[in-house]
Amino acid sequence: MAYAIEINGLTKKYGNVTALDNVNISIEGGKIVGLLGPNGSGKSTLFKCLTGLLTFKGEVKIHGNEIGVQTKTDVSYLPERTYLDMSMTAKEVFDLFNEFYEDFDEKRAYDLLASLNVDKDVRLKTLSKGTKEKIQLISVMARKAKVYLLDEPIGGVDPAAREFIIKTILTRVNEGSTIVISTHLIRDIEEILDEYVFINGSKLISYGSAKDLHEKGKTIDEEFREVFRCF
């Protein structure tokens, strides 16, 4: 079986604090997976390990490759906090992505921007928080990546922005690409998830199929509340 993401014995410590402790996960290609847990549960740390932004102990592979030059090409990452210069325009953001990433699809980016009715030459600092979030998401999703890592893509935005973001996620470019979404707003994304991962503190708690859970008459949100009631 070919896995998009293979994690074996992943451990990450910040001094004496263990952020991730011997985490083991294998995710098949073509899935939309929810990485779910309360704030401070290690979700962002896990993403940063997958992108190579943090060093760690253990083995991590993206489509069979250890973290390195190839995986940076294969992975498109949306961090929780925006890294864009607010004095930039949408056009300048797209130009920057186009310069850095060979797989950036300018046409797709501008098509998505047009659906927002946002002028490409308007400065980001003049836009609402939700629109800024959308432009950053467009930039990430316009790459023809194999794996998309989205850290809290719907946190702090209004329902209309969430709807656009979810629609954009669903219309991912590459057939067979894998999307991992970190969030604590489970109800808002549950309907698009194929699988879920529960993580708490430094520990992986549970990993399963959304379909299997639904066939048991339970939602992921209900399972999450039941599991984390014990912590």
38-56: average pLDDT: 91
Residue 46 has pLDDT above 70, yes or no: yes
pLDDT on residue 45: 94
Supply the CATH number for residue 122's domain.
Answer: 3.40.50.300
pTM, two decimals, is 0.92
Q: Which helix (H) or strand (E) element contains residue 119?
A: none
Q: What is the DSSP string of 199-218?
A: EETTEEEEEEEHHHHHHTT-
Measuring CA to CA, which residue among 188, 112, 201 is closest to residue 150?
188
Q: What is the mean pLDDT of the chain?
A: 89
Residue 153 has pLDDT above 70, yes or no: yes
Distance CA 147, CA 76 (A): 6
pLDDT digits (tens, 9 = 90+) for 203-212: 778 889 999 9
Q: How many domains does the chain have?
A: 1
Strand, coil or helix: 105: coil
pLDDT digits (tens, 9 = 90+) for 95-119: 999 999 999 999 999 998 998 888 9
Domain span including residue 184 = 3-228
Confidence band for 227, pLDDT divided at 50, 70 and 90: confident
